[in-house]
Amino acid sequence: MLWLLFLTLPGPGDPNLGREQRGTVGVHDVPPGRWPWQASLRRHSKEREQWEHVCGGSLVHLQWVLTAAHCIGRRQASAFRVQVGQLRLYDPDRLMKVTEIIPHPDYNHLLSAKGGADIALLRLEAPVTLSPHIQVVSLPPASLRVPEKKMCWVTGWGDVRLGGPLRPPHHLQEAEVPVMGNEVCNRHYQNSSADAARQIIKDDMLCAGSEGRDSCQGDSGGPLVCSWNDTWVQVGIVSWGDICGHRDLPGVYTRVTSYVSWIHQYVLSPGH
């Protein structure tokens, strides 16, 4: 499954930055109720006259959605809508307005996702109503260390093969991906870079994926979850990568444990 990078409406802060238009295999339709925190972030397309899916997200609180900062760019809250509880895009939509966007203060618009701190919170206009298809995902403790080679799951409506967008009915896809240690991941990315001395994979990033198992365009902002103590916890946010599904260049995710305390400033504070 490929990144929820932006499939349409390119512009400042566009998520296609840093992610080549190549897809992957190893994904399949999600059964009902399996990942009930998955959200779809929408922007309005004048050309198609609809609120079009541009990124993924996850419900981390009844009124807050977690996503990638590069999905937002410098746009206002009114530019977005959110859909939750849906397996197939646009079938049917019950879109919610976004009333507040809080990108992480360390996110750099010029560097985009590769600069780190690629995380943002969206406040919905009203709390969602929980159901078997709408649930809040658990966040990990800040102390959690995700071991190398642990198998986790990434979900989204992004591309599903080389240059192949997800076709109607746009059913949510899932892929099981192995975690790669940051040092190994950084070496792989350095080997493919002209700047081999620079640290490419930063401490607030997490790598996961293998040949044919990855996220890609259209999956940005979506969750990477691992099973921990019999509970699904979100350890990553789809952020960037160079080639979807490449053996040595796994997907790069925002490491949620690096930002748990920042998230809790908003989702647990009075008045939010």
Per DSSP bridges, beta strands 28-29 and 231-240 are unpaired
- Pick out the chain residues at pLDDT < 50: 1-25, 270-272
Q: For 63-95, how does the pLDDT look when each residue is reduced to its tens digit (9 = 90+)?
A: 999 999 999 999 999 999 999 999 999 988 999
For 261, the enclosing helix (H) or strand (E) is helix 260-267
Please give the positions annotated as active site. Answer: 70, 118, 220
Residue 253 and residue 206 in contact, taking contact as beta carbons nearer than 8 Å: yes
For 259, the enclosing helix (H) or strand (E) is none
Domains in the chain, ordered, with CATH?
36-134+260-267 (2.40.10.10)
- Going by C-beta distance under 8 Å and a sequence separation of 6 or more, which residues neighbour residue 162? 22, 23, 24
What's at 17, amino acid-wise?
L
Q: How far is CA 111 from CA 106, 242, 257, in A?
A: 11, 15, 22
- The pLDDT value recorded for residue 271 is 43
For 78, the enclosing helix (H) or strand (E) is none
Distance CA 253, CA 251 (A): 7
- Of the candidates 244, 83, 240, which has an alpha carbon nearest to the alpha carbon of residue 163? 244
Exposure pattern of 159-183 as b/e (b: 16+ CB <10 Å)?
A: bbbeeebbeeebebbbbebebbebe
Distance CA 25, CA 237 (A): 20
Distance CA 259, CA 9 (A): 29
- Going by C-beta distance under 8 Å and a sequence separation of 6 or more, which residues neighbour residue 265? none
Q: Helix, strand or coil for residue 195?
A: coil
Per DSSP, what are the bridge partners of residue 131?
Answer: 134
